[in-house]
Amino acid sequence: MRTGKAGPHGVLPPAARSAGLRFAALHPPPPFSTPRAAPARLFGSGLSFGAKNRLLRSKSARGASGVRIGVIGCGLWGKNHARTLGVLGALGGVADANPAASAALAAAMDCKALAVQDLIEDPGLDGLIVAVSPAMQAQVALRVLAAGRPVLVEKPIALTPAEARAVVRAAEAAGVVAMTGHLLRYHPAFEAVQALHAAGS
């Protein structure tokens, strides 16, 4: 018998709901006036993406870690990743099988556009995000891993279990991180639910 409160993803057990509520109480959302809210204000303004990116890098990202990430794939999700990395001051470049697409995104985000293999081998990058068509995700991820680079692969990581296992084996052989872009994987509320599950609650 399922108990708990119904939500957008079904019914949560009372313990999980309690963990989520405790997290919400301890970590309320920031007020609109904080720097964290600035990107939302800017992206609703009339500024171009390039102007917003330059402004955010000059203001919000002054404490950035210096990490530089490249994005392979300039479609819908590639653009989303590029915008987020731009906000963080971490966008190191973009690439796409269609040079016109990468050139357009690079111009909008004020970053460099390279051929896919050139971006993979760029020594100025600390890792790459692969956001290409699902049929090509595993193939491109394997190219990144063959170069010994850490990679985040958009969902789905592959179209078959065999392809997914090949990506895992390549990451293990290269000794680098390969991960899929699951939403909220490290959110404290989800970690609390995982701990409850592991404990048999």
* This prediction's pTM: 0.66
Domains delineated in the chain: 12-198 (3.40.50.720)
Nearest to 70 by CA among 105, 23, 21, 31: 105
Q: What is the mean pLDDT of residues 138-166?
A: 97
Residue-wise pLDDT for 115-150, tens only, equals 999 999 999 999 999 999 999 999 999 999 999 999
Sheet holding 127-130, edge to edge: 91-95, 69-72, 127-130, 151-153, 178-180
Q: What is the mean pLDDT of residues 96-110?
A: 97
Q: How confident is the model at residue 59 (pLDDT cuts 50, 70, 90)?
A: very low
